[in-house]
Structure formats: C-alpha cells, structure tokens
C-alpha cells in the first residue's frame, strides 16, 4: 500500500496520528487508542524507508542523515496536511504523522471555556498555552487566532 493510500484510510477512520514502523502494520490513533490497519500487513523496513524518504527534499534528507531524526510538514492536495517526525529506531526508520485539520474549529466547537473568546479580544497581553503532546495546544491556539482574525485587526507574534 502506498503512503497516500495509508493516510487516506487513516483520515477516513478518524485518526489523529499515523505510526509507520518496520515489522508492524500501519497503526492509527483513533480516540486515543492505537489500532492496526485492518489488513494487518506488516511493513518491511525498506517500505518504511521508501515512504519516509519520499516526503523529504534533499536538505531534509541531509539533515536526517546527520541527526537520525527530523520534523517536517507534508501535504496531500485534496486529502490533508500532516506534521511528520521521521526517526531511526533499532537500525530502521519509523515515522509518525500527526493530522493537521484543514478547517479550524471554533472555540465553541471545541467545547473550550467562553473566557478564551474574551481573552482573545484583549488588546495586549501574554497568553501561555501549555500541556502534554496531543493535549490540544495547537488546536486551541488555532481557534483563538481564528477568533482574533474574525473579530479585529491585530499584529500577533
């Protein structure tokens, strides 16, 4: 199965993350649980390497060779956007794709406190959004920035 086919199946399954590791089937994180691709076909090391290198440009490949890890963005027109971490593990490559939603959800749609709308409209100040990986920091900030852009003109750093 090709990379974009795997990503397509993952998105249709409602996955937030896609894990590609040699010796395992493609794994999808759905509602917090890590689930294998239904066909259960284990990925060969050369298959994972081919997929990982196919999304890197020459500079990224060089950086990966130097550090054995790289973070990058990957987009598929008509399908979606992803934040990707490619890494070396036990002598083989692995990759984790985090789904970046194409449509930004509102503060209300996310079920976040209404006070975030008020904070977003303050003319100055500093807002810190903290949390563990996958806890919604980027999603929260995207909703807040979208609220600002919809309601006022501002210079945001």
Please choose, from the candidates 106, 99, 76, the residue with its C-alpha nearest in 3D space to the C-alpha of residue 28. 99
Contacts 24+ apart (CB under 8 A), 70-76: 73/100, 76/4, 76/7
Q: What end-to-end distance do the CA atoms of the chain give, in Å?
A: 41
For the record, the structure tokens of 53 come out as 């290198």
Contact 26, 35 (CB under 8 A): no
Rounded Cα distance, 16 and 100, in Å = 8
DSSP-derived 3-state class of residue 74: strand
Contact 115, 95 (CB under 8 A): no
Residues 84-103: what's their mean pLDDT?
93
Which residue's structure tokens are 């810190």? 128
Q: What is the pLDDT of residue 88?
A: 95
Return the number of other C-beta atoms located less than 10 Å from residue 118's C-beta.
10
Query: In this predicted model, what pLDDT tens digit does every residue of 39-80 receive, in sequence order?
Result: 889 999 999 999 999 999 999 999 999 999 999 999 999 899
% residues pLDDT > 90 (the chain): 77
Q: Which fold has domain 3-100?
A: Beta-Lactamase (3.30.450)
* Domain ranges (residues) in the chain: 3-100, 103-157
């Amino acid at each position: 199965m090709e990379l974009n086919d795997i990503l397509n199946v993952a998105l249709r399954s409602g996955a937030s993350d896609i894990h590609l590791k040699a010796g395992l089937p493609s794994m999808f994180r759905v509602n917090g649980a890590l689930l294998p691709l239904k066909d259960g076909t284990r990925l060969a090391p050369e298959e994972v390497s081919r997929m990982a290198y196919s999304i890197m440009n020459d500079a990224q490949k060089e950086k990966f060779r130097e550090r054995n890890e790289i973070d990058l963005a990957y987009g598929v027109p008509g399908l979606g956007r992803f934040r990707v971490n490619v890494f070396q593990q036990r002598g083989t490559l692995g990759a984790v794709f985090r789904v970046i939603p194409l449509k930004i959800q509102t503060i209300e749609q996310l079920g976040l406190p209404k006070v975030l709308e008020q904070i977003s409209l303050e003319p100055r100040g500093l807002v810190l959004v903290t949390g563990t990986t996958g806890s919604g920091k980027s999603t929260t900030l995207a909703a807040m920035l979208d609220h600002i852009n919809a309601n006022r003109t501002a210079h945001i750093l």
